[in-house]
Chains A and B, each alone.
Chain A
Amino acid sequence: MPKITYIEHDGKSHTIEIANGLSVMEGAVQNNIPGIDADCGGSMACATCHVYVKEEWFNKLPKKEDGEEDMLDMAFEPKKNSRLSCQLMVTDQLEGLVVNLPEKQV
């Protein structure tokens, strides 16, 4: 199972094995990682599973759909490397992915 690292805003790091097919958001929620709210449950409707992806990883990920960019307009402090973690599906290609969590989701 690919290992994904979530780094909280205060620097606390969590590396977790997540089964292929789950989203990076679901991996966080199921493992009680603080800092990902995912209010809408993964329907790309709330922008509360917002993460920052390190540049080298950002370009390797499948591109954003329009709807994701629209939702990121509403996220807390979006940046160029922002993604919604509910839209990042875990595959073997994501082994070693590191995501940074924003200060808060709302």
Chain B
Amino acid sequence: MIKTDALIIGAGPTGLFTAHQLKLIGLSCEIVDNLDKIGGQCIELYPDKPIYDIPAIPECTGEELTNNLINQLKPFDIKFHLSERVEEVKKNKENWEVKTNKGTEFSTPNIIIAGGVGSFEPRKFSPKECEKFENKSIFYSIKDKSIFKGKIVSIFGGGDSALDWAIELSKNSKVNLIHRRDEFRGAQATVEKMNDLVKSGKINLFTKYQIKNAKGKDNLESIEIEHDNKEIKNIKTDYVLGFFGLIMQLGPIANWGLNIDKKTISVDTEKFETNQSGIYAVGDICTYPGKLKLILSGFHEGALAARACFKLARPNEKYRFEFTTSSKSIKDRLGIKE
């Protein structure tokens, strides 16, 4: 069981800056995120899109903002638990006991939820029949490509993931690539390579088709795909892969006894505390009168929530406000020698 002064759920910009604030005031913290990388929506949804409303930064991309926030955390040794999702939160006397889907356990007086709109999960096929074959013959990510060798693989999607895998798997498998329109949004060079493989017969391309049904008793045998003009084709296939990007799902947060309305958590504007003492919500996931879903609001909310954490983490000490420009103890924490 890991003991920490505060556990942050979510490694997006708000979670990162909140960690900075906690460390500045001398508290320990660890961060859990369901994604396999740091940055949250900034890195997953708009790494290349410029942002124009970060104070004192006229323009930066989601990726640059993330890298700057990571740099700002460099003086501190913060443990990140990536590709882990918090499943359980239980009160045990003074502390919260937290468990992730990988079995990591924490004991902490403070939980700060900086979860954006929830955790990122793959988007799935809509026909209900597909669920039956999920993780057996139908996958939304690939862990072991060797299982596809010599098999028929039908790949859905129009972005880089779908194209890259179609190209890669066409070496040792019979590949069908199916997309809802003629244009692909993958990188130009990848689209050209795919087109070459279609011409040489290595990839069977079906455009303006979408999945309609998945058939088979115990094992997947075939899928039905439907054209824009309603024509239906039946394709024999051993495996189906879907690459439709990620979607945000609130997930287990809904089960922690918090005041949730329309996927957001109600908080006060002094501590950004939820209806549960010692659980705070900051950034896009929190709501209060006048809430703005801006990154800068998340920074403010995190700074205040961090001060609130001090009370529960150091019940016998008094928090004293200090500036980074003048405080000796803050400079020590930052490792700055004068």
Contact = CB atoms under 8 A, between A and B. Distances in A.
B71 interface: no
Most chain B CB within 10 A, of A39, A43, A46, A103, is at A39
A78 B41 contact: no
Interface in A13-27: none
Interface residues of A, number: 19
Interface band, chain B? 20 to 34
Interface of B, secondary structure class, is loop
Contact of B180 (A40, A46, A66, A73): A73
Contact of A80 (B123, B183, B228, B293): B228
Contact of B247 (A39, A41, A69, A78): A39
A33 to B, nearest CB: 12
Contacts of B159: 70, 73
A78 B244 CA distance: 12
B256 interface: no
A63 to B, nearest CB: 14
B157 A73 contact: yes
Nearest to B124: A106
Contact of B45 (A40, A77, A103): A40
A15 to B, nearest CB: 22
A39 B123 CA distance: 14
Given A73-B157, A74-B123, A77-B210, A39 B248 contact: yes
A45 B185 CA distance: 14
Interface string A31-70: 0000001011101011010000000000000000010011
